[in-house]
Amino acid sequence: MVQKKRFMGALVAATVLATLVSGCGTKTETTSATKAPDTAKTTEATAKAGDSKLVIGFSQIGAESGWRGAETQSIQDTAKADPTIDLKFSDAQQKQENQIKAIRSFIAQKVDVIAMAPVVETGWEAVLKEAKDAKIPVILVDRGIDKKNEDLYTSFIGSDFITEGQNAAKALAEHMGDKGNVVELEGTVGASAANDRKKGFDDEMKKHPNIKIVKSQSGDFNRATGKQVMEAILKSPEGKDIQGVYAHNDDMALGAIQAIEEAGKKPGTDVKIVSIDGIKEAFEAIKAGKLNTVVECNPLLGPQLYQAAKDLKAGKTVPKWIKSNEDVFSGQKAIDALPNRKY
């Protein structure tokens, strides 16, 4: 009897704690990462109570760009609209160590599926081996990890960043009349989106020998840094004679546009600009004649993520790469597309 009472007491405490921990289905990384060891048992109790629910942990990089905000919203809104999904959301604030903590917390909570957007490509072996040992499938969302660790994740949902870089180079070469000097604003150092967009661009530019990349520097995928870096480049000897800017994302391009205007030049005319993502503000910049081309990269990955996760939970096989369909927008095509842009 005493034993039964103790058991009931523990169960009530576990349920109350589990409710506090899982909240309305979304919460921040700091909570999930630091509370991992305490929450494991309580979450187990919740999972047993509702085994039909998909319990999924998602480790997001942060909030560095408009694109990232749209991706977060897609992942959170899709979960909120589906009562069969229990999303545990964790924001790493650009730090790999926070993502690793979040993944360990998801493993401890015995989620059905772990999803993550890896901030950089390398350094995931140990934690992803732990997920594999715990038999929890891992889905990479939007960014990849190094090729040698392909067996450590089940599926990658996202874009072909190399093709995006190639498409950016083709467009920029055309706008520049196939000659001139280019500044490249790179994404976060070590990120697959930065590495592959650079590779695609460089490969394609080999076909355009009269275009020279005079400076490549990281603007960390955010607008303020993109602006600062562009300002410094415009003041440097290399920046005195440039006809093109290739930005690995729209936010850095929008920062560069401000820097170019403040330096007394006309973005889109004196300096041709091509960027990647396709956020509304980039389309507006095309309409205003300040940006020349945007290469689309789809952040609305929520529906595909949960479909893949549900399939995995149901024991189905999912493709190793679930590729996004994307387009390239310039001029009137961009202006016509603007009213229907979803992010």
Binding footprint of ligand AHR on the chain (CB under 6 A): 64-65, 67-68, 142-143, 193, 221, 249, 276-277, 297
Closer residue to ligand AHR (CB): 22 or 222: 222
Closer residue to ligand AHR (CB): 112 or 196: 196
Closer residue to ligand AHR (CB): 200 or 239: 200
326 HSE (CA, 13 A, CB side): 26
E strand map for 14-70: 54-60
Which tokens go with 294? 């945007």
Rg of the chain, C-alpha, whole Å? 23
How many residues in the chain? 343
Sign of CA dihedral 69, 301, 337, 293: positive
Give me the least distance between CB of 194 and ligand AHR, in Å please: 8
Closer residue to ligand AHR (CB): 90 or 181: 90
Give me the least distance between CB of 242 and ligand AHR, in Å please: 22
Closer residue to ligand AHR (CB): 313 or 323: 323
Closer residue to ligand AHR (CB): 231 or 251: 251
Closer residue to ligand AHR (CB): 36 or 138: 138
- Interatomic CA distance for residues 129 and 272, integer angstroms: 45
- Find tokens 């999303």 and name the residue: 87
- Interatomic CA distance for residues 155 and 115, integer angstroms: 10
State how far the alpha carbon of 133 is from the alpha carbons of 110, 138, 148, 181, in Å. 12, 12, 18, 51
Give me the least distance between CB of 142 and ligand AHR, in Å please: 5
Closest by Cα among 144, 62, 141, 92 to 309:
141
Pairing of β 328-330 and β 293-296: antiparallel
229-234 CB contacts, 8 Å cutoff, 24+ apart: 229/185, 230/183, 230/185, 230/255, 230/256, 230/259, 230/260, 231/259, 231/262, 231/263, 233/183, 234/259, 234/260, 234/263
Closer residue to ligand AHR (CB): 42 or 166: 166
